[in-house]
Amino acid sequence: MTLNLARTMGRDQLAAMPTRARRRYGLKTTSVVVLLVLLYVVQAFLRNPAIEWDVVGQYMFSARILHGVWITLLLTGVGMAVGVVLGVVIALMRLSNNRILEGAATVYVWFFRGIPQLVLLVLAYNFSLFYAHISLGVPYGPELFSVRTNVLLSPIVAAVLAFALNESAFSSEIIRAAILSVPKGQRAAATAMGMTPVAIYRRVILPQALRMSVPPLSNDVITTLKTTSLVAFIGVSDLMYTVQSQYQANFKIVPLLMVGAIWYLVLVSLLTVLQSLLEQFLGKKGLWVQQSKPPKEHN
């Protein structure tokens, strides 16, 4: 019947016919149910007497907790910075035509991506068991410099080293994929202009690859921030270690765990906002990869 009506009526008559909005009772009912469940969970959580919100407020901005927050940010920032720099080097080695450099980079990525972060932390912390001294000297000649490994690799240095090595393996794969995504025609055009391979990478390929790597590398920053809680196992006084030492002294386990959870949520939220602002900045400056728009027609 509908097909016959469409055949007998013109296009303009069909367009002029009134339409009835479809009532989505199922979607509205589901939304109301989900909202009620969320409200129930939130109020049950906020009114839970085990949390002791007064204790949470007491320790939220205490000096020791703020020092732990600072150590967490320090580990995240330095570990990510060193890891990204190493990641660029490893990515370029993997893309090299030299089989030795490519093989060494492949083994490096395989090794540090395969070891769990906690195991890598413990290995870095106990590196003095492998080598008691780290020395520098002339081969088969006099020793110029020597230091005990446990003095050089303090717990915080070992933590930064472990995070940097782990991040370099993951970021190298992100940067390598971004380099491969740069159109080959740009490299050919730069070569035709007489640019050297080093200049092509420095001025054409790497800037674009690093910009395309911003979203996945930002996710790595957030992951590294949360993973820093593992340094409590080697005695670094980060946020989690400080929380643990506090509740072991006063037995306020749940309130202090809430303090740590709130701080991690705040830091991750700030990093998410910074990531969004960075992407907007790159988009406004024309540095973001966007689809080309068709030219406007002129009458």
How far, rounded to the nearest angstrom, does the alpha carbon of residue 257 sit from its chain's CA centroid?
A: 23
What pLDDT sits at residue 107? Answer: 95
pLDDT digits (tens, 9 = 90+) for 146-193: 778 777 888 899 999 999 999 999 999 998 988 888 888 877 888 888
Q: Which residues are CB-neighbours of 232 under 8 A, at least 6 positions away?
A: 238, 240, 241, 244
Q: Which two tokens stand for residue 299?
A: 């009458």
pLDDT digits (tens, 9 = 90+) for 36-85: 898 888 888 788 888 888 888 899 999 999 999 999 999 999 999 999 99
pLDDT higher than threshold 60 for residue 32: yes
What pLDDT sits at residue 61? Answer: 92
Nearest in space to 167 (alpha carbons), one of 221, 237, 98, 96:
221
CA gap 125, 155 in Å, rounded: 6
Percent of the chain with pLDDT over 70: 84
**8 Å CB contact between 98 and 182:** no
Q: What is the mean pLDDT of residues 266-285?
A: 84
pLDDT digits (tens, 9 = 90+) for 206-243: 778 878 888 889 899 999 999 999 998 888 889 999 99
Residue type, 8: T
